[in-house]
Amino acid sequence: MSSVFNEEDISKDGKLFGLKDFNTTCITQVSSTILSLLNITPEENMDLPINEVLSLSKEKSSSPCDRIVMYNPDAIAYWIFGRFYKKYFSRLEKNVDLVLPMLSVFPPKTPVCFASMYSGLMPEAHGIKKYEKPVLKCSTVFDTLIKNGKKAAIVSTKGDSISLIFLERSMDYFIYRTVKECNKKAHELIKSDEYDVIVLYNTDYDYWMHRNTPTGLIAQSALKQDVNEYLTLKNLIESEWKGKHKTALAFAPDHGCHRWYGVLGQHELNKPCDMNTVHAWSII
């Protein structure tokens, strides 16, 4: 696929990329997109689906998807994507069908954002409006999936937002201490082919950019691993499911980040650096 980015947008130092304007497609649109791909009617209060993703699915084949795999790396900003496009993300883009600049919700904090991504609601509606991790009482995409007879699984590291805010539902949770264990389990779930929707969360980039810097070497290593994991998932789906299922595989971060006092990473601002992220989709 041709790049979604103009060469002049990808500055050598990354200082200008994605820092001027807010993106327009919101992460609240992900829930209704997942349901629409599966030919399930979204809840009335959910945001609208992402038309580009639905059009892509129809271009691939007229039948709906029957498997969805959501890969959720944390805190990958649109400007980070641009800064390291040639080094890491050009490889991702060459292996997906669609790349979309996305807008997060405010405040751009992990539990707030994933609550919005998987409920289709703004923070004022789902109730998580700061960094806290209560179990959501509102309807989410998982509730709609369950109501329609679909089997869903969440794979996440212990104590992180995705492992907590969607609990108390008739679905399966695989919670581990390390990202490596989570990735291994997601691979096993694909091979076992028991779930219609699998959500895999990866905290490593967020963890290291907070403790290092968004562009530091250890954070860059996490970015590389995020790309590698997506491509591993895609290869596994192609080997295990192609010809058996129609699958949508998403690379879907929650928010961006910025340098705090010029060094450590943070995300809390209603500015493009923190609010702009980027998603990628493949239909397999």
Q: pLDDT per residue over 131-147, tens digit each?
A: 999 999 999 999 999 99
**For residue 68, which of 251, 249, 220 has the smallest C-alpha distance?**
249
Residue 209 has a pLDDT of 94
At residue 102, what are phi and psi to the nearest 5 degrees?
-125, 155
* pLDDT beyond 60 at 158: yes
* Buried residues in 155-175 as b, exposed as e (16+ CB within 10 A): bbbeebbbbbbbeebebeebb
pLDDT greater than 80 at residue 118: yes
Query: What is the mean predicted confidence (pLDDT) over 100-127?
Result: 98
For residue range 62-83, what is the model confidence (pLDDT) as tens digits?
999 999 999 999 999 999 999 9
pLDDT range class, residue 261, cuts 50, 70, 90: confident
| 259 pLDDT tier (thresholds 50, 70, 90) | confident
> Would you state the pLDDT for residue 7?
44
Over residues 85-112, the pLDDT tens digits come to: 999 999 999 999 999 999 999 999 999 9
CA gap 20, 195 in Å, rounded: 41
Query: Measured between alpha carbons, how far is 38 from 142 in angstroms, rounded to an integer?
Result: 13
> What are the start-end ranges of the H helices in the chain?
30-37, 51-60, 78-83, 90-94, 110-117, 123-126, 141-147, 161-164, 179-192, 204-211, 217-240, 272-275
Other beta carbons within 10 angstroms of residue 28's beta carbon come to: 25
What SS3 state is found at 104? coil
135 secondary structure, DSSP code: P
pTM of the shown model: 0.94
pLDDT class for 265, splitting at 50, 70, 90? confident
**For residue 18, what pLDDT is reported?**
60
Query: Residue 39: its pLDDT value, please?
Result: 98
Q: What is the mean pLDDT of the chain?
A: 93
Two structure tokens written together for 156: 């996440």
Q: pLDDT digit string (tens) for 160-200?
A: 999 999 999 999 999 999 999 999 999 999 999 999 999 99
Measured distance CA(188)–CA(251) in Å, rounded: 19
Residue 264: its pLDDT value, please? 86
Query: Which residues, listed in sequence order, are joined to residue 276 by a DSSP beta bridge?
Result: 103
